[in-house]
Amino acid sequence: MCQNLNDKHMNWLALVFAGIFEIGWPIGLKMAQNPGTSKLPWIIMAVFSMAVSGVLLFMAQKTIPIGTAYAVWTGIGAVGTLMVGILFFGDSASLPRMLSATFIIAGIVGLKIF
């Protein structure tokens, strides 16, 4: 019982980190588009982030239902990338966008609770 509980917590932790790495690949691709910068390091970062994110998602699905894991993974990636875009790339922080991100977060929390 205790081992199963620890595995479940570790899988949720892996899923959170998978979502965080999911943020890395769109950033890498965005940075690779900047004129005057070397594209290769950013593309390598994007591919590395994709790979780590995928491996962690694979690990997380050992005890987390696939639909929940996928929704949480993409939700963290989407909201995280939205925040990075706002903070570092001048993307809009309009009320409708923030409200939409809040709905995504509420959905992630709901999937964890229920």
> What per-residue confidence (pLDDT) applies to 75?
95
Residue 85: pLDDT above 50?
Answer: yes
> What percent of the chain is modeled with pLDDT above 90?
85
d(CA 79, CA 40): 26
Assigned token pair, 73: 């993974």
Judge whether residue 3 has pLDDT over 80.
no
- Spatial neighbors of 35 by CB under 8 A, at least 6 apart, are none
CB 69 within 8 A of CB 24: no
Q: What confidence tens digit (pLDDT) does each residue in 74-83 have?
A: 999 999 999 9
Residue 6: band (very low, low, confident or very high) from pLDDT cuts 50, 70, 90: confident
pLDDT of residue 2: 52
The letter for the amino acid at 76 is: I
Rounded Cα distance, 63 and 82, in Å: 28
Q: What is the radius of gyration, based on Cα positions, of the chain?
A: 16
pTM score, whole prediction: 0.87
Q: What is the pLDDT of residues 37-71, one digit of tens each?
A: 899 999 999 999 999 999 999 999 999 999 999 99
- The per-residue pLDDT for 71 is 93
How far apart are the C-alpha atoms of 58 and 43, rounded to whole Å?
23
Closest by CA position to 23, among listed 50, 54, 41: 50
Compute the distance between CA of residue 75 and CA of residue 104 in angstroms, rounded to an integer: 6
